[in-house]
Each structure stands twice: as C-alpha cells, then as structure tokens.
Structure 1
Amino acid sequence: MAAEQTFSRLTLTAMVVGSMVGAGIFSLPARFGGATGPFGAIIAWLIAGGGMLMLAFVFQSLAVRKPELDAGIYAYARAGFGNYLGFAAAFGFWAGTCLGNTTYFVLIKSTLGAIVPMFGDGNTPSAIFFSSLILWSVHFMILRGIKEAAFINQVVTVAKILPIFLFIIILVFAFKADLFAASFWGGGAYSAAEIFNQVRGTMLVTVFVFIGIEGASVYSRFARKREDVGWATVMGFIGVLCLLVMVTLLPYGVMLRPELAELRQPSMAGVLRFVVGDWGAWFVSIGLIVSVLGAYLAWSLLAAEVLYSASRSELVPKWLGRENRNGVPATALWLTNILVQIFLISTFFAQEAFNLALEMTSAMTLIPYVLVAGYALKLALTRETYAPGSRDLARDLIWAAIATLYTIFMLVAGGLTHVLLSCILFAPGTLLFIFARREQGRKVFTTIEIGLFAIICIGAAIGVYALVTGLITI
C-alpha cells in the first residue's frame, strides 16, 4: 500500500461509524423485543455502552502510548502476551469479520425475500447464488485500490445514516407513553434474576453492533496524526451508541413487546410499516441494503488489512502480505472472500442463519478484544510507558480493568456453545501460524502455547462431536 496514502480524522471516524452501523442496528427491535422490555434494554445498553466506552478509551490510550504498534487489534495482543496469542487475536478478528460479512448477505436477501419469495430468509440456494455475485463484484472493486474503496465507504456512511435518522424522527412523533409503560418490565416478574435473564439474552447482539470500534486503530498506520485515531474511535462510538439506544427503545412506544418479537428481519422495516405503511418498510429496506453494502466494504478492508499486517509481522505466512500494483493486499483479500464464500454456502444448512452468524461473529471478535484490554491493563500495572507520578496511570488502570472484566463477562455470557464453535475455527486456523513459524525457521510454540493449543484442539473435538450427535444444532 502506497506510503503517501493518509486518512484524515473525518475518514478515520467514517471508518469507525461505517464499520459499526451495518446489519445489527436494523435487527434491534425484534432482537430486543424477543428478549426483554425497555427496562432490561436500558440495563443492557448501560452495561454494553459502559464496557465498550472503556474499550474505546483503551484503544485511544494505546494509540498514543504505543504509536509503533500498527494494526492494533493484533499488535497489542502480541506485544502483551506473545506470538501465538497475537496470532489468535488477528485470526479471531479476521474470522469474525468474515462471519459478519456473511450476516450482511443473509440480511440483504432476507429483506428482499419479503417481495421475492425465492430468497426466503436469506439462506436459500437462490439467495446464496446472488450473494456470491455481490461478494465477488465488491472483491474486484477493492482490488482496484484501497483509497478509492475507503472514499466510497465515507460517502456510503453518510447515505446510510439518513434512513436511521428518519426512522428515529417518525417514531418520536408516533411514540405513546402508555405502550412503552406496558412493556417496561418485559412482562416477567419484577425480580433481579428475571431481569438478568432478559438482559443476558441481549448480550451477544450488543457486542455485534459495536464490532468495528477498532476501525480507526486497524488503520492507525495511515493516520495523519496519532491523536486522530483515539479521537475518531471515541467520537464514532458515542455517535453510534446514541443511534442504537434510540432505535432500541422507541419501538416499545409504538408496538407491544410480543408484536416486536414476531417481526421478521429486518425488524426496523416492520416497525416503520406499522407506523406509516408500506412505504416506510421500503424506505428502511433500501437504507438497509445501502448500509449493509457499505459496512461490508468497510469490513472487507479491515479483514484484508489485518491479514496483511499480520503477515508483515510474521504471524502468518509471507504470501498473505503480497500486494498488487494498486497497493492492495490482494492475497489476503482473496483468502478473506474465499472464507466468506464457504460461510455463505454453510448457511444453507443453518436453521437460523442470521442469528447464528451474528452470535458467532460476536464470540470470535470478543477474543481479540479481551487481549487488547488485557494488554492495556498490563501496561498500567507494570507502569510501562508511564512516567513516575503520572496523572494518567490511575485513569488508564480503571479504564483497562473495566474493559477487561466486561469483555470476559460478555464472552462467558455468550455460552459454551459459541466457545466450542470458535474452537472449531481456531484449531485448523492455527495451521497458518505453524506454517509461518516454520517458514522463518523458528520454534513454533512455547510450553504455555502448546498447552493453550491443546485446549483449543480438545474444544474443537468436543464441538465437532456435539454437532455430529445433535447436542449442538445450527
């Protein structure tokens, strides 16, 4: 990639917003309506918003304290915990991104399925075929140049925010306080255990809609100023959080919770149809398609960049670092989209393709988030990069501790099923790391890393057994 290509503060912010605002926000009314009421939703967003804000602050702090670490999503994990966990962060983020791109295609075809029956819920043979056409069309567009694609993403980010704003404005005027109050407690007992169970049902979807918060950090080596990376991360996060909260809570004021829960995806279209008629559903559906294609573009760029940078750092084989004449990490992009194609084909066998891909995306991406937060915590505890008596130490320690606890909690709350399915991806994925180490003539694993790899292989074996025997269904 050409050295003269630099991204402004606005472009970096657009990368953050463009990465986060995608399929997830359009699915929120039904996802939350099926899990909880307004009170549980408020609790869920306080937890998710607070935890992710701390993670945003972590990315902001690390961008300044460790400016030499580019493509931060994996570089921080490697610096803090060694080569294999650095690879695990890169692979987890990359595989999660590929799964995320799969959710986009499923949701596009599910949206069109409302008027074109052959697309069904987004995982029919016709849906998979047309999704594949889009996949490879965008692939060849990106091969023409990263900077051109980044500019398109900036334009699309503006275009896709407009329908969401209109949705919010219409619901504000249609809002009925009595409907909101009727669903407030979620229809369950007024107990802490009941509220916790309701909130737990929203955990992975809240992670999913925040994935992309690292967008500016991944492209930190292209920032004109290192400070711009942190600014773009925090400001992009705050803006998106406000949108997410309003899109979640306002529908409770126009429809009852059981009605929200029964909406087909994209449920935002169903809400607007209920309020203003069919044109509202059409408007949201068009906005969703623009949003999803824009987010897909942003995530494709992020995924290719991570593999490219990991190759340059010798965590994956050198061939993944090859660029074409336009400065695009072409080999990494090819591998990325081949994996997306495999995931697309696998959706044919999934009962709820969208929800499965969404939850797996969250589970895979939480792993690098845990490692990044853990590295920031390690820096604060060891006082590395902090001058004696630094005023920033206590603040950064609190940020990192909360971010670490939050990401671990979310990973555990997601359930054992997703951990086992993640192991099924990590076990064969480790071959990339093994090939890279042998390519360099270095020892593959340390003693601790051998133990970690063994645990992953055991988890993968259990996961495969559970799939074969029906203990886990997809």
Structure 2
Amino acid sequence: MADADAQKFSRLTLTAMVVGSMVGAGIFSLPARFGAATGPFGAIVAWIIAGGGMLMLAFVFQSLAVRKPEIDAGIFAYAKEGFGNYLGFAAAFGFWIGTCLGNTTYFVLIKSTLGAFFPIFGDGNTPQAVIVSSIVLWSFHFMILRGIKEAAFINKVVTVAKILPIFVFIAFMAFAFDYDLFASSFWGGGDYSSAQVFDQVRSTMLVTVFVFIGIEGASVYSRYAKRREDVGWATVMGFVGVLCLLVLVTLLPYGVLERPALAELRQPSMAGALQAVVGDWGLKFVSAGLIVSVLGAFLAWSLLAAEVLYSAAKYGLVPKVFAHENKHQVPSAALWITNILVQLFLIVSIFSQYAFDLSLEMTSALTLIPYTLVAGYALKLVLTRETYHPDGQGWGTDMTWALIATVYTIFMLLSGGLKHLVLACILLAPGTILFVLSRREQKQRLFGAWELALLGVFVAGAAAGVYGLATGMITI
C-alpha cells in the first residue's frame, strides 16, 4: 500500500505536468512566428479564439474527470468510450505520433539555438545536429526507465527553472516597450481590411494549437492522482497561467521591434528580441533557458507518449506487448518504441528544408484528432444526458463548454489545410496495422461498417499524400 501511495501525484505535481508539457519549444518561437503572420490586432484575435477554445477544452477535461472517474487514461479512452474501438485507436495513435513529432521539434530547435554559436548545427537538421540529438535522446530514455516518479520529480524542478527566463524576457520587453512602435503595426501593416486580418489570424492557428498541446497532461496521468478532483484543477489552473505567458510573449515584442524585423528573427526568436533590448547576453540567457525548457518539455512529453501507448494496450487498442512494465513500473516497451520513432523522425529531418515548421504543424494537426474526439464525447454525454441528474443541474454549462470546444477543434483541424490532413493520413493508414494485430490477439471483429469506411478515407488520404510528395505538389 505504501508503494502505491508513493506513486501517487499531488495537485502541484499534476499542475507541473500540465505546465511542463505546454511550456516548451513553442513559446520561444512566438515573436517571429506571429511577426511573420500578423500585427498586434491579429495576434489579439488569434489568442482570443485559441484561448477561448482551449479554455473550453480544459473545462471539458475537468468535467469528464468528475463525470467519468472510471476512465483513467484520459485523452483516447474518452474517444473509445464514445465512438468505438477504431476511433479510440485513431485518437491514441494520433496523439502518440504527434507527441513523437513534437519531441523531434524540440531537438531541432535546441540544435538551431546552438547553431547561432556553433554553425556546424545549422538550423538544427544537419547530420551533426542529429548525432548530438540522438545522444541526448537515449540518455533521457535510460533515465526514464529508472522510474516514472523520479522523472516526474525532475520535471517539476525543471518546470520552475525554465519559467525564470520567460519572466525575465517579459520584464525587459515591458520596460523597453514603445507604444508608438506598437501602434504603427497594430493592424498588421498596410491598409486594414477584415479579410486581411482573417487571413493573418488563420495563418497562426496551428501555432496556437502547438503551444497549448500538453493541456491534457494531468488527464493522461489521472490514474496517478491522489484525488480525482485534482486532475481538473491542475488542468484549468495550468492552462490559465500558461495563457498569460503566451499573450505577453507574443504582444510585447511589437513594442520593441518593427514587424518586418520580428519576422526575420532567427529561431528561437525570443532570444533575438531580447538581444535587441539588452545586447548579446540576452541572446545567451534566453538560449540557455530554451535548452532547459525544451529538455524539460521533452521529458514530460516522453512520459506522456509512453503512458498513452501503454494505456492503449491496456484498453486493447494496440498489441498487449506495449503494456509491459519493468521493475520500476515504467511502461518500458512503449517507451522503447516511442524513442525509436523519434530517432527515425530525427533522421528524416535531415532531408526536410523546414524541419521545425513542418514538425510543429504536423504535431498540431495530429493532436487535434483526439482533442476533437474528446470534445465530441463530452457533447455526446450532454445530448444523451448520461451522468446528469434529472433536474438538469450543470447541464447547461457543460453544454456550452462541450459545444464550443467541439466547434473550435473542428475549425482548427480544417484551418490547418489539406496538406497536413493528407500527411496525417500517411501515418494513420499504415498505423492501423497495430489495431488489426490487437483485434486478432483478442479474437474480435476487426471493423464495423462505418469504421471500414473511415479506414477507406485514411487510405485514400494517404495515397493522395504519397502522390503529392512524389510529384512535388506537397513539399516538406
């Protein structure tokens, strides 16, 4: 019993898992990403949309944690419960692949950061960069194998350490803020029109999704929570804190540099923006903070990825071999296959001209699949009134949260563009082999009629994606 209690996570640890998962590579890239896309007004609109939509999703996770306490694997288990085995698998596999791509993004950004000081690393996708990244990858791998609890403790410490440079950045940006400079780029430059602002906002959508990925961190680890209500609390409070940081990091640089200068900053652009205010030490300070932040986020995401694949095996959605735990209660088989896939993505990044941007956008697109299904499940519960008292207490509020979250996630999935959807299908279609193997292990029927139709959509999308890559219509 003592061992079981020792493995339980406190409210603070769960909140650190959320913040640690969300604050990683994305926040350090925001000044240039937004500077290239829009002005302050478009950025404000983008954060209102993204913040509002993701807050509704956070409330959905909070509500589901209370209404469905028996579902203790979070993000994909809700999809399975609401829409069947194959969509449950698609949610788990999409989240897992997206997490692996996200970890690849982290390594590319670390080496791109070091590339400012050591040209041999280039933009993070040179062979030398991949070799060093691989050493770091497997060093973390063997550390995590020593125990989930130890890795979670390190993540909590790193979460505190990596917030410091972000606060320093915000303080100096606020001190140097020039209102006239901010106002001159407020509408994005050029003549203002609603259509122009819409296009500007649309181009930031996948970026905003990427920086919010990790909001499900506490939900995925709900089986470790000391108290079930801590899961929802950690999700909402972690989200609100990170949202404030994201908005400040995005808007303040418009008052320090003109928009074209922001757009041209090398990634991580937070470092270049601070350098413009305080000199070279700012570049070094933020670069060091980024490396700590990204390594911490990589640790959190490695835990998330392994936990999801492990839980999917427990739920019978992937082969049971991935449910194996070592003597430290770490899902070792899931961790091995996760980091092998990250290694393959790192090698492929050598051949991608825009490795960071592509990995970021694909991570967002793939993670939106389970997000959409979670929101859809919450909406289904509301419409069927399952778990609700006959007097309707709480029904209206949950209806609002679930409906907005569902519309938001579908909108974000579509706004990313056809390219990312067909590239996602290239991964989802062959990944279905894992689902087939699992169903055969259990001697269960492979697909229902509508699930077979969905598989056909994935296969058609994959074929279109392969054709687009082969003909040059799609570039990576």
3-state SS in 1 of match to 2:199? helix
Match of 1:444 among 434, 443, 446: 446
Q: Which of 404, 422, 427 is the aligned partner of 1:402?
A: 404
Contact 1:188 1:194 in 2 (8 A): no
- Which residue of the partner structure matches residue 237 of structure 2? 235
C-alpha RMSD over aligned residues: 0.8
Contact in 2 for aligned 1:163/1:284 (Cα 8 Å): yes
Q: Distance in 1 between matches of 2:393 and 2:42?
A: 37
Aligned residue type for 2:40: P
The one-character-per-residue Cα deviations of 1:388-426 (angstroms, maximum 9, x if unpaired) are 112200000010000000000000000000000000000
What pairs with 1:111-130 in structure 2 (closer than 5 Å)? 111-130=113-132
CA distance in 2, matches of 1:326, 1:216: 21
Match of 1:3 in 2: 4
Pairs within 5 Å for 1:254-333: 254-333=256-335
Query: Any residues of structure 2 matched to 1:143-154 within 5 Å, and which?
Result: 143-154=145-156
Q: Which residue of 2 aligns with 1:182?
A: 184
Cα distance per residue 1:217-261 (max 9 Å; x no partner): 000011111100000000000000000000000000000000000
Distance 2:319 2:95 in 1: 17
Paired AA for residue 4 in structure 2: A
Alignment partner, residue 89 of structure 1: 91
| TM superposition outliers: structure 1 runs of 4+ over 6 Å | none
- 1:14-163 to structure 2, matched below 5 A, reads 14-163=16-165
Which of residues 373, 385, 388 in structure 2 aligns to 1:386? 388
TM-score with structure 2 length normalisation? Answer: 0.99
Contact in 2 for aligned 1:23/1:292 (Cα 8 Å): yes
Residue type matched to 1:99 in 2? Answer: L
Question: d(CA) in 1 for partners of 2:337 and 2:286?
Answer: 32
SS of 1:283's equivalent? helix
Code of the aligned partner of 2:366: M
Give the length in aligned residue pairs: 474
Q: Give, as a single letter, the amino acid of the residue that structure 2 aligns with 1:61.
A: S
Distance 1:10 1:335 in 2: 30
| Inter-partner Cα distance in structure 2 for 1:58 and 1:251 | 33
Question: How far apart, CA to CA, are the structure 2 residues paired with 1:136 and 1:189?
Answer: 51
Instruction: Please report how far the alpha carbon of residue 191 of structure 1 lies from its aligned counterpart in structure 2 after TM superposition.
Output: 1.1
Deviation at 1:71?
A: 1.3
2:344 to 336, 342, 345: 342
Aligned partner of residue 37 in structure 2, secondary structure: coil
Report SS of the residue matched to 2:4.
Answer: coil
CA distance in 2, matches of 1:333, 1:165: 33
Determine the structure 1 residue equivalent to 2:194.
192
User: Quick one: which amino acid aligns to residue 185 of structure 2?
Assistant: S
Deviations 1:178-221, CA, capped at 9 Å, x for gaps: 10001100013311100000001100000000000000000001
For 1:100 and 1:389, the matched residues in 2 are separated by: 44
For 2:132, the aligned partner's letter is: F
Deviations 1:127-151 (A, max 9, x none): 0010000000000000000000000
Q: Secondary structure at the match of 1:334?
A: helix
Name structure 1 gaps, 5 residues minimum: none
Deviation string 1:326-368 (CA, Å, 9 cap, x unpaired) is 1100000000001100110111111110000000000000000
**For structure 2, which runs of at least 5 residues remain unmatched after alignment?**
none
Question: How far apart are the structure 1 equivalents of 2:50 and 2:294?
Answer: 22
Whether contact under 8 Å (1:96, 1:361) holds in the other structure is yes
Q: Distance in 1 between matches of 2:456 and 2:341?
A: 24
Equivalent AA in structure 2 for residue 308 of structure 1: Y
Could you say which residue in structure 2 is the equivalent of 1:166? 168
- Are 1:207 and 2:237 an aligned pair? no
> Equivalents in 1 of 2:431, 2:217: separation in Å?
23
In the aligned structure 2, how far is the partner of 1:67 from the partner of 1:244?
Answer: 31
Indicate the residue corresponding to 1:375 in structure 2: 377
1:94 counterpart letter in structure 2:
W
Q: Report Cα offsets for 1:53-91 as digits up to 9, x if no partner.
A: 000000000000000001110000000000000000000
Q: Is this contact kept in 2: 1:19–1:211, CA < 8 A?
A: yes
- Give the counterpart letter for 1:290 in structure 2: V
- Corresponding residue number in structure 1 for 2:430: 428
**Counterparts of 1:375 and 1:189, CA distance in 2:** 43
Distance in 1 (CA, whole Å) between partners of 2:287 and 2:394 is 46
Could you say what secondary structure the match of 1:26 adopts?
Answer: helix
Q: Retained in 2: the 8 A contact 1:15–1:154? A: yes
The percent of aligned pairs where both chains have the same amino acid is: 75
If the length of structure 1 is used for normalisation, what is the TM-score? Answer: 0.99
Which residue identity is paired with 2:453? G
Q: SS of 1:3's equivalent?
A: helix
Query: What is the DSSP-based 3-state SS (H/G/I as helix, E as strand, rest coil) of the residue aligned with 1:473?
Result: coil
Aligned amino acid, residue 397 of structure 2: R
SS of match in other structure, 1:34: helix
Opposite residue 39 of structure 2, the aligned amino acid is G
- Larger CA deviation: 184-193 vs 314-323: 184-193
Once the two structures are superposed, what CA deviation does each residue of 1:91-140 show, in whole Å capped at 9, x if it has no partner? 01000000000000000000000010110000000000100000000000
Q: In structure 2, what is the Cα distance between the partners aligned to 1:156 and 1:438?
A: 42
Does the residue aligned with 2:414 lie in a helix, a strand or coil? helix
| C-alpha distance in structure 2 between counterparts of 1:313 and 1:349, whole Å | 37
Q: Is the 8 A contact 1:102 1:343 kept in 2?
A: yes
